[in-house]
Structure 1
Amino acid sequence: MSAEATNPANPGPITPGSPRRRGRPRIDLRRLGRAAFLGPTARGRLPDAIGHVAEAHRAHYPDSVLEPLHRAYVLAESSHRGQMRKSGEPYITHPLAVTLILAELGAETTTLTASLLHDTVEDTEVTLDQVRKEFGEEVAYLVDGVTKLEKVDYGAAAEPETFRKMLVATGNDVRVMSIKLADRLHNMRTLGVMRQEKQERIAKVTRDVLIPLAERLGVQALKTELEDLVFAILRPEEYRQTRELMTAYAQQTEDSLAGFATELRSVLREAGLSAEVLIRPRHFVSVHRVRRKRGEMRGADFGRLLVLVSEDADCYGVLGELHTCFTPVVSEFKDFIAVPKFNLYQSLHTAVARADGEVAEVLIRTHQMHKVAEAGVVALGNPYTPSGEEHLDTAGERADPTRPGWLNRLLDWQQSAPDTDTFWSTLREDLAQDREITVFRPDGGSIGLPAGASCVDAAYAQYGEDAHACIGARVNGRLATLSTVLGDGDTVQLLMAGVEGSAASEPSVAWLDHARTPAARIAIRRWLATHPEGPSAPASAPRAPYSGPSARPSAANAVVDQPGATVRLAGCCTPVPPDEVTGFAVRGGVVTVHRVSCSGVARMKDAGRAEVGVRWADAEAAEYRVTLIAESFSRPHLLADLTEAIALEGVAIISATVDPPDQGRVRHTYTLQLPDAAHLQGLMRAMRNVPGVYDVGRTRHAAAGAL
């Protein structure tokens, strides 16, 4: 239990319907306490103590039935009667305040009912069975989830396992975490009576875990107030300076943002666009960050303009007018409507400059987008009963259509983490990543990853442990190594080994150097732990030249228009029938034969070398030699698979060499004896079909060396 205290950082109540969050004055907890202590009112009337909750709830759900809230309040008030907070108010004021926060965010009736009851099973004689009997399975499920989180011991030794349970509870129903976040917000508001060291300890856990979770659930209204409260406790001097700066700005007679807003309203009105233009002041932490980034603050730096419209298309219409009538700051434009952020957030971001050089940031979104931007998953109502029936997945568990991709990833790797210490360290690491990127798959799907993630991370995000078989990637159409760092908006095609009849790939210790996500790191470590001998010897290791079945090298079927000349096929382009060829005389009475398309031919012509007429003779009856280069990603058994593919084509290997690996890629060079020229294209196709091989071509070395 905690007591109310004066809160210097409090920016006002949370009212998502009001972009400035200043719509309703702070509720007087003492007055609520007196009303709560008096108990229920006359039959058929809501108790005065929850009148504010009902008012806020009806603003979002005009037709909602309030009777469950009435019964939940009566049970909560009677069960908590006699319990007092340290500030002297009846304890019932705490669940009332938590429920009011959620009601203003737009939570549905089931969540509010569970919020009123969230401390009853933990702190009173009310049982979970009683809650289930009185209010149904859904409310009991939420109360039970919050009750488990209430047992958190914030001591360092208890944190890992506690927050593992918290994560599991969040994953099963995001409304559990919504109630927990509102509970933490009210307790942070009333933290002043605690000892300083306890305030700091709770503020640090809030900063490290709960604020990032609020961000990921998209509940910006809770996140920003929690940030300010933590800022005031942990960095009081910087908070004081920021507060003085904001106070000085508020006392200025000229408001540059107000002037910007007036101009923008005029522009949109003339364009026939119906829109609401509002000034959205920055909160304390946001002002502090801008000040550190830009140094001296200008008037427009203390807030942003928010433009609210009715339809998605209107957002782009507003953007067009803005960029036509003002000077856009191109680097500040972001389209989170076409590509929503990982936490459901949608909006257009831009910045424009007036003729006087003043720059204002502008957010453009629909009213519904704004509601979700402020309240996140809370604004989406009950995700499980859209038609009055609970949705279950194939395993009989709840299927959450609102659960963000990041939460799915955390749930996956927390189940795979070998111990709580690993879980805790990776949880904090993941939550500390304050920016995510979106990369796209060729099939049109997308993958959310933390900034700085590589192709290794993308592979494990898409395929789970099947990503052990990943051998490379194409990024924006170009071949890339698994270590390639991805950027926001990149298109990634992951190349996988392990097709039927071929050897699978295996991860290596080096992959850990490129993995940023917990899912990837834990999966790789687990594989390495179960394979202490390590991956098989990579095919990319340097090898001695391989000599296959012998064959007499010759150019028996080049007919040369130069009697007595010895014919040699050029090594730079290795011509074979039916290539169009030409020849050049070199020292010793030798004529080298090149493909006409060989780059060496042009150089020799430019140097004044005379061509010698050559042609193929009896091409179908002879054997031909060719040198092929296979470009591939490094993986075990690749040389064996390529050799097998060549042998199955009935082609003899004269020699084979493998260059040392470079960035996970390796080059194989084969000199081959073909039974006839018609085999060449089929052979090259067979080699390209070997997993890991991304290109096969004939040698194209510098021609000068052959002459």
Structure 2
Amino acid sequence: MSAEATNPATPGPIAPEAHRRRSRPRIDLRRLGRAALLGSAGRGRLPDAISHVVEAHRAHHPDADLEPLRRAYVLAESSHRGQMRKSGEPYITHPLAVTLILAELGAETTTLTASLLHDTVEDTEVTLDQVREEFGEEVRYLVDGVTKLEKVDYGAAAEPETFRKMLVATGNDVRVMSIKLADRLHNMRTLGVMRPEKQARIAKVTRDVLIPLAERLGVQALKTELEDLVFAILHPEEYERTRGLIVDNAARPDDPLAEIAEEVRKILREAGLQAEVLIRPRHLVSLHRTSRKRGRLRGVDFGRLLVLVNEDADCYGVLGELHTCLTPVVSEFKDFIAVPKFNLYQSLHTAVALPQARTDSPGGTPMAGQVAEVLIRTHQMHKVAEAGVIALGNPYASPTEEQLDSDGERVDPTRPGWLSRLLDWQEAAPDPDTFWSTLREDLAQDREITVLRPDGGTIGLPAGASCVDAAYAQYGEDAHACMGARVNGRLATLSTVLRDGDTVQLLMGQDASSEPSREWLEHARTPAARIAIQRWLATHPSPDATPDAEISVAPLRPPVDSSAAPPSGANAVVDEPGATVRLAGCCTPVPPDAVTGFVVRGGVVTVHRVECAVVARMKDAGRKEVDVRWGDTTECRVTLVAESFGRPHLLADLTEAIALEGVAIVSATVEPPSQQRVRHTYTLQLPDAAHLPALMRAMRNVPGVYDVGRAQHQAATP
């Protein structure tokens, strides 16, 4: 149950965002509580408690059927009756507030119905079958998805397999995540009575997972407020300093942004362009970032101008007038209408300054040199920019003309490219740990670039991506045959780092035997490329390759064997009297891995994991296969590979994390850094094989480490 409560002493963010200005003042929870306690309205009559939800919903969907909302509220109120939040308000005020957030963003009726019911299955006697009987399969599915996501966040949030299952469910219908984001926003607004350590824990999960997801779903209205609330909890001193800057600026007698806004209105009126010109103040986190980037802030830095028009063509008309009558800053121009961002965002960005000094402002302040950022978009673009996928309605409803492509096929707006990629990765990733590291790495990307294909298509990639990443993004595993690229018409190596707006032509070989190079991994930034390359290398080991040479490090505990040779298997039992048993260095099997063995030179039996690529080669070579079972001893040796971003003291921190888990380091390899990335390979002696997952999690939690996995050496057939 979400039991956070309102705490008036907790400073809330100053909220000057446009979405706050155009919405009603925040609803009084006590008033909602009193309305809820009055009981249900008569049959067919809308209860007073949901009047605000209905009003907001009708503003976006005037013809909506309100009966499902009435029935959902009645069921939720009766089910939660007697449950209280820590503020003393009836618990029903929470789903009401969550639903109001979604209604103001334009969510359709099915989403609002599920939102009212989103805690009933988790916290009351209501079952999913009852929800299906009363409201249909669609509402049941959404309620079930939100329930599962709640367990992920407040339970074992870092358990990769659990999160993978939840993401698959969310990916089928992103309305699940929309409800979850609104749920988290209301809980963050009312987090004040929680213990500081719990506030910090919830804020960190919000920062690391939910805010990046809100960004990728395009729900800027939720993302910006969540950012400010997290900022207040995790960085209270910087938060208060930034609040002070806003208060001081508001007390100034003149407003340079208002001066420029009036000039823009005059220019557009004279040009006969119908447009609404608004001042859009920066939210706290945005202003904090701006102050760190620019130092001392000027009046125009506290916000941006927003110009809203009716048609796409008018956006470019406004741009032309502003660039003609004012002084444009050419380097600030970006066209996200022709090339939308990965999260559906469309807008023209520019920056302008008045051409000469203006002293007719109220304070007589000269205006020359004051540069204002300007956003130009249609009203529909603005709706999508604020609400993202929430503004795009029910993905299962009949498509509108705008949702059809040139071939008459539906363009699925609720499956943006990044989400489709993530779902593809979870299918391709060999294990949950690899997928979890993939997810964390993708969410850590703070911006994306768009590169152009010669055929007019686009490819979305993270900043810093190379031609290798572009190849796998466009061709999938067929990119193994890529031979080179042309960037902006010039031949380029596959290691070339791409910039926003580059045109990339990938040169593909026709030879079916073409294969990727291990060196490509050094240039692959996207998880999709890395997973594809690693999977190919694991299933096509080179017969001449040997494991990388190892360097010795001082063991933190006395090792069983300090040599670099494959460890002995006292642990593995074979039915070969007198045979020497060794664990294969290519796959480093440990209990309880399913294993098999082969007799090699000198009568030695090497033990491999059954999925090891060498097993198939051994069988093809006619080597004798031997049954292997694990003995009673639980001690084992394993080789792990940690991939990280380079930083000082990383090796010391990793070895300390391993030592704290009670594990001995037998040997270690540290490869030379490549593009600020470092690869560490450790052979470790574990007192208990069952401790391996905990050890891998401890290594992965070391700052800078983004992946830890079992070693997959390329080993020659003995």
TM-score by length of structure 1 reads 0.71
Taking the TM superposition and a 5 Å limit, the aligned residue runs for 1:260-275 are 260-275=260-275
What residue in structure 1 maps to residue 374 of structure 2? 362
Taking the TM superposition and a 5 Å limit, the aligned residue runs for 1:533-548 are 533=542
Contact 1:13 1:24 in 2 (8 A): no
Instruction: Select the residue among 412, 428, 431 that pairs with 1:416.
Output: 428
Q: Which amino acid aligns with 2:529?
A: A
Quick one: distance in 2 between partners of 1:160 and 1:255?
50
Sequence identity of aligned pairs in percent?
83
Quick one: distance in 1 between partners of 2:246 and 2:209?
28
Taking the TM superposition and a 5 Å limit, the aligned residue runs for 1:416-455 are 416-455=428-467
Quick one: distance in 1 between partners of 2:99 and 2:250?
32
Instruction: Select the residue among 523, 532, 535 that pairs with 1:514.
Output: 523
Contact 2:19 2:221 in 1 (8 A): no
Matched, 1:475 2:487: yes
What residue in structure 1 maps to residue 90 of structure 2? 90
Quick one: distance in 2 between partners of 1:157 and 1:380?
29
What residue in structure 2 maps to residue 284 of structure 1? 284
Deviation string, structure 1 residues 583-637 (Cα, Å, up to 9, x no partner): xxxxxxxxxxxxxxxxxxxxxxxxxxxxxxxxxxxxxxxxxxxxxxxxxxxxxxx
> What secondary structure is seen at the aligned counterpart in 1 of 2:541?
coil
Taking the TM superposition and a 5 Å limit, the aligned residue runs for 1:635-674 are none
Instruction: Select the residue among 495, 507, 510 that pairs with 2:507.
Output: 495
Taking the TM superposition and a 5 Å limit, the aligned residue runs for 1:192-207 are 192-207=192-207
Shift of 1:319: 0.7
> What secondary structure is seen at the aligned counterpart in 1 of 2:258?
helix
Q: Which amino acid aligns with 2:332?
A: E
Deviation string, structure 1 residues 42-73 (Cα, Å, up to 9, x no partner): 34321111100000000101111111100000
Shift of 1:534: 6.8
Q: Which amino acid aligns with 1:383?
A: P
Quick one: distance in 2 between partners of 1:224 and 1:534?
54
Shift of 1:4: 2.2
Shift of 1:335: 0.6
149 and 158 in structure 1: CA distance in 2 versus 1, 3 angstrom threshold: same
What residue in structure 1 maps to residue 550 of structure 2? none
Contact 1:267 1:325 in 2 (8 A): yes
Mind listing any 5+ residue stretches in structure 1 that lack a counterpart? 392-397, 538-707
Taking the TM superposition and a 5 Å limit, the aligned residue runs for 1:226-245 are 226-245=226-245
Deviation string, structure 1 residues 329-355 (Cα, Å, up to 9, x no partner): 111110101111000000000000122
Q: Which amino acid aligns with 1:517?
A: T
Quick one: distance in 1 between partners of 2:375 and 2:149?
36
481 and 399 in structure 1: CA distance in 2 versus 1, 3 angstrom threshold: same
Taking the TM superposition and a 5 Å limit, the aligned residue runs for 1:519-534 are 519-533=528-542
37 and 143 in structure 1: CA distance in 2 versus 1, 3 angstrom threshold: same
118 and 155 in structure 1: CA distance in 2 versus 1, 3 angstrom threshold: closer
> What secondary structure is seen at the aligned counterpart in 2 of 1:151?
helix
Quick one: distance in 2 between partners of 1:513 and 1:505?
19
What residue in structure 2 maps to residue 50 of structure 1? 50
Shift of 1:8: 2.1
What residue in structure 2 maps to residue 5 of structure 1? 7
Matched, 1:301 2:296: no
Quick one: distance in 1 between partners of 2:215 and 2:531?
24
Contact 1:172 1:400 in 2 (8 A): no
Quick one: distance in 1 between partners of 2:411 and 2:122?
27
What residue in structure 1 maps to residue 75 of structure 2? 75
Q: Which amino acid aligns with 1:426?
A: T
Deviation string, structure 1 residues 155-198 (Cα, Å, up to 9, x no partner): 66744334323321221101011001001111111111111111
Shift of 1:21: 3.2
Matched, 1:458 2:470: yes
Shift of 1:40: 1.3
Q: Which amino acid aligns with 1:455?
A: C
What residue in structure 1 maps to residue 707 of structure 2? none
Quick one: distance in 1 between partners of 2:89 and 2:352?
49
Q: Which amino acid aligns with 2:291?
A: R
Q: Which amino acid aligns with 1:169?
A: A
What residue in structure 2 maps to residue 375 of structure 1? 387
Quick one: distance in 1 between partners of 2:290 and 2:479?
41
Contact 2:218 2:343 in 1 (8 A): yes
Contact 1:506 1:535 in 2 (8 A): no
Contact 1:83 1:90 in 2 (8 A): yes
Quick one: distance in 2 between partners of 1:522 and 1:109?
40
Deviation string, structure 1 residues 5-64 (Cα, Å, up to 9, x no partner): 2352344598xxx55535311100111011112221234321111100000000101111
Quick one: distance in 1 between partners of 2:126 and 2:492?
60
Quick one: distance in 2 between partners of 1:483 and 1:535?
26
Shift of 1:108: 0.3
Shift of 1:203: 0.6
> What secondary structure is seen at the aligned counterpart in 1 of 2:215?
helix
TM-score by length of structure 2 reads 0.70
532 and 278 in structure 1: CA distance in 2 versus 1, 3 angstrom threshold: same
Shift of 1:154: 4.2
Contact 1:213 1:431 in 2 (8 A): yes
277 and 358 in structure 1: CA distance in 2 versus 1, 3 angstrom threshold: same
Quick one: distance in 2 between partners of 1:471 and 1:520?
15
Contact 1:221 1:375 in 2 (8 A): yes
Shift of 1:99: 0.4
Quick one: distance in 2 between partners of 1:158 and 1:82?
33
169 and 451 in structure 1: CA distance in 2 versus 1, 3 angstrom threshold: same
> What secondary structure is seen at the aligned counterpart in 2 of 1:297?
coil
Shift of 1:366: 0.4
> What secondary structure is seen at the aligned counterpart in 1 of 2:525?
coil
> What secondary structure is seen at the aligned counterpart in 1 of 2:343?
coil
Q: Which amino acid aligns with 1:513?
A: E
Shift of 1:134: 0.8
What residue in structure 1 maps to residue 143 of structure 2? 143
Contact 1:12 1:22 in 2 (8 A): no
19 and 307 in structure 1: CA distance in 2 versus 1, 3 angstrom threshold: farther
Quick one: distance in 1 between partners of 2:43 and 2:16?
31
Instruction: Between 463-472 and 93-102, report the one with greater CA deviation.
Output: 463-472
Shift of 1:318: 0.7
400 and 119 in structure 1: CA distance in 2 versus 1, 3 angstrom threshold: farther
Q: Which amino acid aligns with 1:505?
A: S
534 and 35 in structure 1: CA distance in 2 versus 1, 3 angstrom threshold: farther
> What secondary structure is seen at the aligned counterpart in 1 of 2:377?
strand
Quick one: distance in 2 between partners of 1:230 and 1:287?
15
What residue in structure 1 maps to residue 103 of structure 2? 103
Quick one: distance in 2 between partners of 1:36 and 1:154?
27
Quick one: distance in 2 between partners of 1:35 and 1:476?
63
Quick one: distance in 2 between partners of 1:536 and 1:377?
49
Runs (4+) of structure 1 exceeding 6 A deviation are 534-537
Mind listing any 5+ residue stretches in structure 2 that lack a counterpart? 357-367, 404-409, 547-718
Shift of 1:263: 1.0
Shift of 1:477: 2.2
57 and 169 in structure 1: CA distance in 2 versus 1, 3 angstrom threshold: same
Taking the TM superposition and a 5 Å limit, the aligned residue runs for 1:310-389 are 310-354=310-354, 355=356, 356-386=368-398
Q: Which amino acid aligns with 1:466?
A: D
Q: Which amino acid aligns with 1:5?
A: N
Shift of 1:455: 1.0
74 and 12 in structure 1: CA distance in 2 versus 1, 3 angstrom threshold: farther
> What secondary structure is seen at the aligned counterpart in 2 of 1:149?
helix
Q: Which amino acid aligns with 1:166?
A: M
Instruction: Between 459-468 and 26-35, report the one with greater CA deviation.
Output: 459-468
